[in-house]
Amino acid sequence: METHLTNFFDILYITIGTFGVAIIAWGVVLTVFRLLKLEFTRFKHKSIYRERESVRHQFASYLLLALEFLIAADIIATVIHPTFEEIAILASIVVIRTVISYFLEKEVSNFNKDDSQ
């Protein structure tokens, strides 16, 4: 029974982690596509500063979402193999990702406030 549960959590960990990586990859594809379109617009001597900031913040939102998935995957991995070293690694990863998420979220919300004014 325990082996089946461990196998299930291993599959769940890999699946959730894969979703996190896929979200980052999708965000990169969309961001590169939008950025290339903007850069070609710039050749027509049009200002793209505001739009480029929008692209950057859209990419940040994909990163935030992916970080949440990756944190969840790391938590599941630690539940599967709860050694002290794994718990310490998870704690440091969660702290680092939380700090990154906080500042990305703050920047995105500031950008959205500026847009609404």
CA distance 2 to 21: 28
Collect all residues with Cβ–Cβ distance below 8 Å to 80 and sequence separation of at least 6.
6, 9, 10, 13
Q: Is the pLDDT of residue 49 over 80?
A: no
Q: Are 93 and 101 in contact (CB under 8 A)?
A: no
> Which range, of 26-35, 53-62, 85-94, averages the lowest pLDDT?
85-94
Whole-structure pTM over 0.85, yes or no? no
Q: How confident is the model at residue 117 (pLDDT cuts 50, 70, 90)?
A: low
- Specify whether the CB–CB gap between 48 and 72 falls below 8 A: no
Summary mean pLDDT of the chain: 84
Domain boundaries, the chain: 2-116
**Tokens at 58, concatenated:** 């859209």
